[in-house]
Amino acid sequence: MKTKKSIFAVIIFLILSVFNVQSQTKITIVAAANIKVALDSIITVFKVQNPSEDIQVTYGASGKLFEQISNDAPFDIFFSADMDYPTKLKEKKLTVSPVKLYAIGQLVIWSKKTDPNEKQMNSLLDASINKISIANPVTAPYGEKAVESMKYYKMYDKIQSKLVYGENITQAAQFVTFGAADIGITALSLALSPAMIKEKGKYFIIPENSHTPLEQGCVILKHAKENTTAIKLYDFISSEKAIGVLTYYGYTQKVK
């Protein structure tokens, strides 16, 4: 009798242990700063259907996140601001999924000091503008594309001395919202965020033909090889609900 009770107790213990592991599934995401508002919203929607999942997100410049992953940082999913960094990780055999194009971003000129819709790109050449904020083009794809656009309009050499660089696109936006810069080139997704709308600045969407497409890719990293939650979220980013959120914040999913 005691033996049966002991076996029963062991079975109950194992069942509870399995349930406890499943109920505490955790994933760690690293993502480009431009996607913060949209991805936070997407995760909120995802957790309605998956309330027990523990999802932690760190935002930064794609290039710096790439370096951390390359040095074996224990992350599960990488949402980059380009396709290149995830592709390089795949080439290094640090991923366990295809590189997925999840969004295409847009650049804007944003300012509280002036309305960039009046002079459009020439707003950057205005004599009253002393500092122009952009993301660091070395580590942030949005900064790289900003430089491409300025060169396309043959104004980069004229205003290069006025440029101030944020570590990532969010910091570049903060420079101009806090008054450390007169005008800035940032992401449309940030210009549409509640925080920047509250600042009552104005923005002009930079024509997409002035730079190569801001194609953004995500990938599951090798640390998440057996993490079912990571796979579910990776799949969810392509769902209608997720695409709806991305569209709301100015992203598209197909190259025009």
CATH number, domain of 71, equals 3.40.190.10
182 vs 18: CA distance, rounded Å: 56
Task: Tell me, yes or no, whether 46 and 97 share the same domain.
Answer: yes
Q: What is the predicted pLDDT for the residue at 150?
A: 98
151 vs 158: CA distance, rounded Å: 10
Task: Tell me, yes or no, whether 88 and 7 share the same domain.
Answer: yes
Percentage of residues in the chain having pLDDT higher than 70: 89
Task: Tell me, yes or no, whether 126 and 194 share the same domain.
Answer: yes
pLDDT tens by residue, 22-48: 445 789 999 999 999 999 999 999 999
Task: Tell me, yes or no, whether 228 and 193 share the same domain.
Answer: no
Backbone angles phi and psi of 92, in degrees to 5:
-80, 0
Task: Tell me, yes or no, whether 87 and 111 share the same domain.
Answer: no
Q: What is the predicted pLDDT for the residue at 226?
A: 85
Mean pLDDT on 197-216: 97
pLDDT tens by residue, 120-138: 999 999 999 999 999 999 9
Task: Tell me, yes or no, whether 141 and 225 share the same domain.
Answer: no
In this model, does residue 92 exceed pLDDT 60? Answer: yes
Task: Tell me, yes or no, whether 79 and 10 share the same domain.
Answer: yes
Number of domains in the chain: 2
In a domain, 255, yes or no: no
In a domain, 26, yes or no: yes
In this model, does residue 5 exceed pLDDT 80? Answer: no
Q: What is the predicted pLDDT for the residue at 26?
A: 86
In this model, does residue 13 exceed pLDDT 50? Answer: no
Q: Is 45 exposed, middle or buried (0-12, 13-18, 19+ CB in 10 A)?
A: middle
In a domain, 256, yes or no: no
Task: Tell me, yes or no, whether 143 and 88 share the same domain.
Answer: no
Task: Tell me, yes or no, whether 148 and 131 share the same domain.
Answer: yes
Task: Tell me, yes or no, whether 190 and 173 share the same domain.
Answer: yes
| Whole-number Cα distances in Å, 79 to 5, 58, 119, 234 | 50, 10, 34, 10
Task: Tell me, yes or no, whether 110 and 233 share the same domain.
Answer: no
Helices within the chain (DSSP H only): 2-23, 36-49, 62-70, 84-91, 116-119, 141-152, 156-159, 169-177, 188-191, 194-198, 228-236, 240-248
Q: What is the predicted pLDDT for the residue at 3?
A: 54
Task: Tell me, yes or no, whether 157 and 226 share the same domain.
Answer: no
Mean pLDDT of the residues in the chain: 91
With tokens 């002035």, the residue in question is 210
Q: What is the predicted pLDDT for the residue at 208?
A: 95
Least confident of 7-21, 112-126, 144-158: 7-21
pLDDT band at 230; cut points 50, 70, 90: very high
In a domain, 61, yes or no: yes
Q: What is the pTM of this model?
A: 0.86
252 vs 247: CA distance, rounded Å: 6
238 vs 55: CA distance, rounded Å: 18
DSSP per residue, 13-35: HHHHHHHHHHHT-EEEEEEEGGG
Mean pLDDT on 10-28: 53
Domain that holds residue 184: 106-210
In a domain, 254, yes or no: no
